[in-house]
Amino acid sequence: MAELTGTTGLAALTAVQLIEGYRKGEFTPVDATRAALERIESTEASLNAFVRVDVEGAVAGAEQSAERWRRGEPAGLVDGVPVTVKDILLQRDAPTRRGSLTVPAHGTWDEDAPSVARLREHGAVFLGKTTTPEFGWKGVTDSPLNGVTRNPYDSSRTAGGSSGGGAAAVAVGAGALALGTDGGGSIRIPASFCGIFGLKPTYGRVPLYPASAFGTLAHVGPMTRDAADAALMMDVISGPDPRDWSGLGPAPESFRQGLADGVRGLRVAYSPTLGGQVAVRPSVASAVRSAVQRLAGLGAYVEEADPDFTDPVKAFHTLWFSGAARVTEHLSPGRRALLDPGLREICAEGARTSALDYLAAVDVRAELGRRMGRFHTSYDLLVTPTLPLTAFEAGVEVPGTSGHRRWTGWTPFTYPFNLTQQPAATVPCGVDADGLPVGVQIVAARHADALVLRAAHALFEAGVADSVPAPIG
């Protein structure tokens, strides 16, 4: 195979390309799985993206898939595609410790989360579980259990979080597809930092079980190399599951239908700073503006316009911190001492939250949702930077010279759309002077996931991600 996007051979191919190769008999799922496992072996020491790699299980699953393809009877849409699962989501026969020393590895692990179950039904090959900060509580990926996950473009930098392991894995070819979760940006943050695509679907579109302690802020979604792979993955994981009482019904149609319809005629609002509320680094602003100009060149009607809201971080903190307190309230003082110190801090703050405080935050959330609903009667899409900066030093919650107290200080473009439950994606659109990836965020009204994917696909097809080289290694 020729060298593709900086990694060699099959490990560099998208899921769509792998399926096409299996269909034509050019290579097998065993070949693709071994290539992905080789990438893990060669990069894991520098990245620390995995908490568990199941070599034997992956090869066995690939061999079974290869036999199905040989018979012309693939099990489903992603049969034989190597995937990874964030260690927040249940996976049968694999401990799910959620990045925490307080969760023992022993026990009976006999159930798949809904999204994992759907991937299994469609023949996916599970490579392993990827890293997360403890209970997914922050926007970088390090934990007392698993240590620090690093950026594939510069190992001194963070991969972002909380789905940092999955983002780093996709970036280096350690599996074409990754399952992530996003409660305040946890798919979009690491995807932007690691130069890949990430989608936070409309809340409930991908069922979640067990329910998150962070409630209806928490979404499950795909992390992939491009929007076409994400659309394919959404067709697999978006089906309803009776265990999720808040999940949506079946999607009205395939997410791949209309994917190539382009953006001509769409009304796009470009908000570079959310109305002056966010200080964005010049290199980030420049790359994002170029991506927006590309949308205009593709026929979208673009104008600079800001959504009508002020920073809802106080309400987000009320909901987020009380959720953290809830997930750890059963711990004894001795077990609580094992927690990440930052997590202990927000748990203590969350435990002091009254019911009235919580309901006031819910009111702020409802008003924000109303405002964004009205905004999308005028605009099909909102486009912003995904983040105001590129990846910073690994092992810290906030950049050292930022003055921020919590991770939300440097993620002002992401968490508002968890409050509103809207679909939001990040597309790689350039690099800064240090060669670190920049992402552009695309947001649509609730339930318009297909429109987000369509716009993202148009950008990929137009080459906006071509300026982001693959990581070396």
> Which residues belong to the active site?
86, 162, 186
Rounded CA-CA distance 439/292 in Å is: 12
With contact defined as beta carbons under 8 Å apart, do 30 and 17 qualify? no
Quote the radius of gyration of the chain (alpha carbons, Å).
20
What are the residues whose beta carbons fall under 8 Å from the beta carbon of 274, sequence distance 6 or more? Answer: 306, 307, 311, 384, 412, 413
What are phi and psi for residue 462, nearest 5 degrees? -80, -5
Q: Residue 435 region, left (φ>0) first, then alpha (ψ -120 to 50), else beta? A: left
Give the CA distances from residue 315 to residues 50, 230, 365, 372, in Å, rounded to whole numbers and listed in that order.
33, 31, 7, 16
Rounded CA-CA distance 62/59 in Å is: 5
Identify the H or E element spanning 30.
Answer: helix 29-47
What the block records as the tokens of 213 is: 């302690």
Chain mean position to CA 110: 25
Which residue carries 């099909």 as its tokens? 380
Residues of 204-219 as b/e, b for ≥16 C-beta within 10 angstroms? bbbbbbeebbbbbbbb
With contact defined as beta carbons under 8 Å apart, do 222 and 175 qualify? no
Instruction: List, in sequence order, every residue forming a beta bridge with 142; answer none if it has no partner.
Output: 148
What are phi and psi for residue 336, nearest 5 degrees? -60, -30
